[in-house]
Structure 1
Amino acid sequence: MEVIIPISVLFILFVIGTPVAFCIFCSTLSYFMMSNQPMIILVQRLAGGLESVTLLAIPFFIMAGVFMNHTGISARLLKFCEVLTGHMNGGLAQVNVVLSTLMGGLSGSNIADAAMNSKLLVPQMVKRGYSASFSAAVTAAGSLITPIIPPGIAMIIYGYVNNVSIGRLFLAGIVPGTMLCLLMMGLVSIISQKRGYLPIREKRASCKEIFISAKDAILALLLPVIIIGGIRLGVFTPTEAGAVAVIYALILGLLIYRNMDVKKLWLATRESALGAANVLLIICVAVAFSKFLTWERIPQSLASWMTAVVDSPLTFLMLVNVALLILGMFLEGNAIMIVLAPLLAPIANSYGIDPIHFGIVFIFNGAIGTITPPLGTVMFTTCSITEVPIERFIKDVLPFWGLLLIELGLLTYIPTISTWLPNLIYGVAQ
């Protein structure tokens, strides 16, 4: 009863639309009210959930992404993407996908990426004859590249809650993220050809044009290289890399591009604080929630049941995928990760599944849920900004959803896609 009631409270509050952080907090509070645990322990767990130095990377990377947006980086990257892909079928939709891939290395947040492209590109796409629903679908689907492109916030959270190397996770996302970008560009080309969505350039850009546009964007494109290179060479930790990213963004905005003044700096800082508070509040309450699950031996019971029923790692991965896809329809991705990843990761380890491989599969599963009805966060963000009815959005996002499932299947059953690059750079984990 001490477990059933808190879990029931959690799902009831989710169903009636209560914000995720408050759902988890009320569920945890109900457990402490029913059990013999002193209430002071709840306070200690809430405070302790944010004590890790690793979590400092989250506000740092969020701030770096916001600062980059306010320095005019987005406009420079947009021009670079237009030069690269403007000659393809559905030129502006191709730009949308590539821009999401590049911005993923700056913002680290799929919601932030979807919101930016919804404001920046969707109006332009509609003016050029693209349907609003297709434009919104491309924007939302493209933003799902962001969580698996370093430095994705989801990777930092997953590494923190499961004690997995964040540097390895960053490297593990490069190949899957690039592969998803290319697959999505191919799908956009097929759909655009059928619908008559034309290129925005008459011919392929010359090497000179590419060089000129790359020169304007190169400082932004160097950021992920600096972050990953610095972590690998031991110059700084992932947390320190976040601080380096903020300083780098400030240097670009204040000294090099000179697009950031005191007013923009204040607005960017305020936006960063609000974004970080939203993520960290969920982490804070979810850590306390996972603690009471541990006290009640839920992880151990789940592991025992799973290993008794499922004898194959492939079957286990399939069941995890199905469960996470269903949960993603209703719950916020970071909350799912903080609550379930510590339960499932040890079971995956018992089956001999590489923790980096399982981490990428888990993170990408959570990303797919954000564009899945009825409660996908990226779906709602994109539709609210673009004013596209959800039913029209769902119709146009279905091909992309199918593509995402194909990518998920490849990541799930071909571990080398995720583990090859980390093993090459760091060596095979012992």
Structure 2
Amino acid sequence: MDALILIGSLALLLLLGFPVAFSVGLSAFIGAWWIDLPWEAVVIQITNGVNKFSLLTIPFFILAGAIMAEGGIARRLVNFAYIFVGFIRGGLSLVNIVASTFFGAISGSSVADTASIGSVMIPEMEAKGYPRDFAAAVTASGSVQAVLTPPSHNSVIYSLATGGVVSISSLFVAGIFPGLLLGLCLMIMCIGFARKRGYPKGERIPFKQALKIFLDAFWGLFTIVIILGGILTGIFTATESAAIACLWAFLVTMFIYRDFKWNQLHILLFRTIKTVTIVMVLIAFAASFGAVMTFMQLPQMITDTFTSISDNKYVILMCINVLLLVIGTLMDMAPIILILTPVLLPVTNALGIDPVHFGMIMMTNLGIGLITPPVGSVLFVASAVSKQKIEQVVRAMLPFYCVLFIVLLLITYIPAISLWLPRAMGVI
């Protein structure tokens, strides 16, 4: 009955149209009232939820990504990606995916990736004979890489949701191979489509022009070196690398590229502060929700339920995948991570599944949810940028969903994809 009151009140508030963060917070207070837990204890959990130094990683990475997104880096990354794959049949679709790989490693956000790369690539692909809905589908599916590869904001949130059991650095390193695998699988499918549908080839870029393009993109690409290099070598913590990346993005955008006007800077900062505020309020309320769940012993009940279904971890993982895929279509990614991680982590721990590996499973599942109706935020951005109806984009997305599900299964049942590199680097 305790769990019904807590979860039922959350579901009711969401159905009534309350914002997710406030729905989570209010349901925590309702649950506390039901079990006679003092509301002061809930308030303490709210303040403790955001009183963590590692949380600084989120605003720094969000600001760095926003600055680079507005500073002309998207066009430079597209040009740089064209050097490597633009000459292949269907090359523009491959350029789209490779550029998303680079941009995701700077922004850490699928929404920013879709908006920035899509605004450049979708009109260009259409001009070269690609259907606009196909271009939107390529852009949206390619942007899922950003939730896996560093500096994924959602990996930071997952680390916090585990209570610090999993380090941000280990998640960043673990996401490299899954993100690259996703991009590679999408590229293989796009090559197949290009040959079947006769999409055009591009021209090879002469060496001198390629060198010029590289030098132009180098300053933005160096942000990736700061983020990954600093963490992998141990020079920076994840929080320190985020701060330095933010400073570097500002210097590159305002003094080297100079595509962004100073009089627009305050608008960008205001937009970033608004985004960060929403995330922080959600994290604070989710901490109280998680505490109430713990008092109700809900995680233990969920663990017992799953283990009663089967003692085979592969069966349980499939059940968890189905659960996350369904919920991922109904709610945004961050609140799901904050609410379900404390619930599902005891289940996976009982099965002997590494929490870093489970983090990659969760990121992939919920990344698919970002491009799935009815509330997929990335899907809506792709629809808006491409000026196509949601139905048209979803129809074009169907083959991409199949590829994404295959990648999900590979990540789920081959732990080495996620764990080999962090173990080799000694971060887990």
Corresponding residue of 1:280: 280
Q: How far apart are residue 66 of structure 1 and its match?
A: 0.8
Task: Please point out which of 190, 193, 197 is paired with 1:191.
Answer: 193
The residue type equivalent to 1:228 in the other structure is L
| Number of equivalent positions | 426
Map Cα deviations across residues 243-268 of structure 1 (whole Å, 9 max, x no partner).
11111112212333333442132222
Q: How far apart are residue 33 of structure 1 and its match?
A: 4.2
Q: How far apart are residue 6 of structure 1 and its match?
A: 3.0
Q: How far apart are residue 208 of structure 1 and its match?
A: 4.1
1:66·1:271 contact (CA, 8 Å) conserved in 2?
no
Q: What percent of counterpart residues are identical?
A: 37
Corresponding residue of 2:234: 234
What SS is found at the alignment partner of 2:50? coil
1:329·1:376 contact (CA, 8 Å) conserved in 2?
yes
Matching of residues 334-373 of structure 1 within 5 Å: 334-373=334-373
CA distance in 2, matches of 1:392, 1:72: 29
1:84·1:205 contact (CA, 8 Å) conserved in 2?
no
Matching of residues 301-340 of structure 1 within 5 Å: 301-340=301-340
Corresponding residue of 1:265: 265
1:83·1:209 contact (CA, 8 Å) conserved in 2?
no
What SS is found at the alignment partner of 1:211? helix
Corresponding residue of 1:106: 106
Q: How far apart are residue 175 of structure 1 and its match?
A: 1.2
TM-score (norm 2): 0.94
The residue type equivalent to 1:335 in the other structure is P
Matching of residues 14-53 of structure 1 within 5 Å: 14-15=14-15, 17-53=17-53
Greater Cα shift, 101-110 or 207-216: 207-216
Matching of residues 31-430 of structure 1 within 5 Å: 31-162=31-162, 163=164, 164-199=166-201, 201-202=202-203, 204-426=204-426, 429=428
2:75·2:120 contact (CA, 8 Å) conserved in 1?
no
CA distance in 2, matches of 1:133, 1:74: 20
Greater Cα shift, 254-263 or 164-173: 254-263
Unaligned 5+ runs, structure 2? none
Q: How far apart are residue 360 of structure 1 and its match?
A: 0.7
TM-score (norm 1): 0.93
Greater Cα shift, 33-42 or 295-304: 33-42
1:126·1:132 contact (CA, 8 Å) conserved in 2?
yes
CA distance in 1, matches of 2:250, 2:279: 23
1:117·1:139 contact (CA, 8 Å) conserved in 2?
yes
Q: Say what the alpha-carbon RMSD is for the aligned residues.
A: 1.9
The residue type equivalent to 1:178 in the other structure is L
Q: How far apart are residue 286 of structure 1 and its match?
A: 1.5
Q: How far apart are residue 401 of structure 1 and its match?
A: 0.4
1:167·1:228 contact (CA, 8 Å) conserved in 2?
no
The residue type equivalent to 1:21 in the other structure is A
Map Cα deviations across residues 387-418 of structure 1 (whole Å, 9 max, x no partner).
32222111110100000000011111111111
Unaligned 5+ runs, structure 1? none
1:139·1:382 contact (CA, 8 Å) conserved in 2?
yes
Q: How far apart are residue 16 of structure 1 and its match?
A: 5.3
1:84·1:210 contact (CA, 8 Å) conserved in 2?
no
Greater Cα shift, 211-220 or 290-299: 211-220
Greater Cα shift, 109-118 or 362-371: 109-118
